[in-house]
Structure 1
Amino acid sequence: MSFDLPKAVAQFIGDAALIADEIGESPSHVHHFTRGNDRFFLKVSAAIYAPTTYSVRREARVLDWLSGRLAVPEVVLAASNGDGEFMITRAVPGESLAARISAGRPVVELFRDALHRLQAVQVDDCPFDSRVEVRLRELAYLLDHGLTADDCDLDQWPGFAGPRDLLAHLEASRPREDVVFSHGDLCDNNVFVDDRDNLYFIDLGRGGRADRWADITLVLRNLRDDISDDAAGEFLAAIGQADDGARRTFFEQLDELF
C-alpha cells in the first residue's frame, strides 16, 4: 500500500501483518489484521475521493450514526492526511450472504429481513443524503476526474454514446423518490449473518436517505445474477412489492458507472 499511515493508525496496527482484501469493486484499499484474538479492517480512500461517497471519513460518520440503530462495525478510529482518509473497524461476526449462496443455502428471506431492518431506520434526523440529486452530482465529479468504473457495460442499454450521454439521460429521467434509509450498496458481500441469523451490515459509505428502490434494485440484480430470476421474484413477493421496471432500470444505470 503506497499510503503513509497517520500516526494513530500506525500505532494501533503496530507490527500486525496487513493482509489485502480482494473482495469488492470500490477504489478503496482494504486490509485486515489481527491483534490478539480480535480481527480488524483498515480501509483507505485516496484524497481525491473525499467529496464522494467513497470517502472513508464519510463512512466512519455513517457507522457512528448507525451505532445503536443497526448492527454495523465498530469504528475504532478514523484519520486523514495528505494521502487520503483512513478508518479502522472491528470485524463483524458471521459469514457473508455471498458465502451462503456459494454453499447453496437459502438467502431470500435474509435479504428480505436485511431490507426491512434498513428501511426501519428512522430518517427524520439522518444527516446523510444519498438521494438522486446528490448521486448525480457525485457522478459528474467522478466523470470530470476520470474516476468512474472502467468495466462499465453500456451495451445492455443500446443507444448511449458514452458515460456522459448516460448521465444526461439520468438527469432527465429522475424518478419521484420515496425516501427511506438506504444502504447504498446492498449486496451479498455487504450483509453478514451469524449462526443465530442475526444480521450485520458493512461497507456503508453510500448509506443515507435515498429512494427505497436504490437498495431493492441491487438485491434483485444480485439474486438474478448469482441464483436465478425465480429467486428475484421470490424476493419481490417476500417484501410485498410489485416490480417497477422504470425505477429499477434507473438505479441499475446509475450504479453502472460506480
Structure 2
Amino acid sequence: MFDLTKIPDCIVNKLENSAWTFDDLGMSGSTILLFDKIVLKIERQSLSSKTETELLLWLEGRLPVPKVIQAVQQDGYSFILMSRLPCEPACSDRNLQNMDHTVKALAKALKMLWNIDPVDCPFSNSLSDKLIQGKYNIENGLVDINNLEEETLSPGGFSDLWDLYNYLMKNQPILDPVFSHGDFCLPNIFISGEDVIGFVDWGRGGIADRWQDIALCVRSLRHNCIEFGKYSEMEYERYKRLLFDCLQIEPDEDKIRYYCLLDELF
C-alpha cells in the first residue's frame, strides 16, 4: 500500500476536501482513491503508466475517457489525477443482473474502439512488442503464478512459463490491426443500460490485433457471469453468442485462446 503522506503537494492542493474510498475492484496493482467527482491513481513509474497518461490526453474528444487534471512523476511513482466517470462498471451487481443490456453495451464499446483510425494513433501495443515484454516478465520473475488460470500450468496445459512462451512464439496468428484498449475487461468499461459511458485503465492501449480485446472481453464475461453473476455455463454461452451476434462476426476460438494465454504473462 502506497504511503499517502507522500502524495505530491501539487496533487494534494487539487484534492477535494471530502471523504474518499479505496477502489479495490481491478487487478492492476495500483492504488486508486475515489472522491466524489475525481480519481487519483497511484502506481510505480513504468511504460504502462506513461502510456496511460499520454493516451488519456490523446483520446480526449475521440472516446469518452477520464479527463486528466494533473499528472506527476515523483520518487519513482506516477500520479494521475482525473475526472471520475459517472455510472458503474460493466461488472457491477446492477449490470450483472441485466446481462442482455450489458453484453450489447460491451459490443458497442468494442466497435467504438475499432472506429478510431489506427493510422492516426501514435501508440503501439503490437503482438511483437507484447511477446518481447512477456519474455522480459518471465526472465525477471514478474509473472504472478498465483494469478494464472487453473488450466494454464497443469497436466493438460503447459509445463512452465517458458513452455507457454514457446507456444506463443510458434503460433502467432495473422494480425488484423485496430485501435485496442489492451485490457478490455468488464471493470474497465463503464456503462448505463446499453450505453457506453466511458473507458478506464489505458496502460496497455494502442494499435493491436482486433482479437486482443475480443479475447479478454470473452474471458472477463465468463468470469463475471459464472463466478460473480451466478449464471450457469449454458447461460454464459448464450451471452457469449449474443456478443458475437452484436459484433456480426463468428468467434475464432483459436485466437481467443491465444490472446488469453498471452495475457497470462502480464
* 1:145 paired residue number: 140
Task: Give the whole-Å Cα distance in 2 for the aligned partners of 1:138 and 1:29.
Answer: 23
Structure having the higher helix fraction is 2
CA shift for structure 1 position 14: 6.6
* 2:3 paired residue number: 2
CA shift for structure 1 position 105: 4.4
CA shift for structure 1 position 201: 1.0
CA shift for structure 1 position 131: 1.1
Task: Give the whole-Å Cα distance in 2 for the aligned partners of 1:7 and 1:163.
Answer: 42
Counting aligned pairs with the same residue, the percent is 31
The one-character-per-residue Cα deviations of 1:25-73 (angstroms, maximum 9, x if unpaired) are: 1122211124xxxx211111213xx13x3x2x32011111111111111
Task: Give the whole-Å Cα distance in 2 for the aligned partners of 1:148 and 1:166.
Answer: 12
CA shift for structure 1 position 257: 3.0
Q: Residue 96 of structure 1 contacts residue 188 of structure 1 at CA under 8 Å; is this kept in 2?
A: yes
Which residue among 7, 15, 19 is the counterpart of 2:21? Answer: 19
* 1:126 paired residue number: 121
Task: Give the whole-Å Cα distance in 2 for the aligned partners of 1:5 and 1:225.
Answer: 35
- SS of 2:135's equivalent in the other structure is helix
* 1:200 paired residue number: 198
Q: Residue 40 of structure 2 contacts residue 79 of structure 2 at CA under 8 Å; is this kept in 1?
A: yes
* 1:80 paired residue number: 73
Question: Quick check: 1:116 aligned with 2:95?
Answer: no
* 1:249 paired residue number: 257
TM-score by length of 1: 0.88
Q: Residue 51 of structure 2 contacts residue 205 of structure 2 at CA under 8 Å; is this kept in 1?
A: no
Which residue among 85, 102, 114 is the counterpart of 2:96? Answer: 102
* RMSD, matched Cα: 2.0
Segments of 5+ residues of structure 2 without an aligned counterpart are: 226-235
Task: Give the whole-Å Cα distance in 1 for the aligned partners of 2:95 and 2:14.
Answer: 35
* 2:85 paired residue number: 92
CA shift for structure 1 position 180: 0.3
The aligned amino acid for 2:148 is C
The aligned amino acid for 2:219 is R
CA shift for structure 1 position 15: 5.2
Q: Say if 1:141 and 1:31 are closer, same or farther in 2 by CA, change over 3 A.
A: farther
Once structures 1 and 2 are overlaid, which stretch shifts more, 203-212 or 141-150?
Answer: 141-150
* 1:182 paired residue number: 180
Question: Quick check: 1:58 aligned with 2:66?
Answer: no
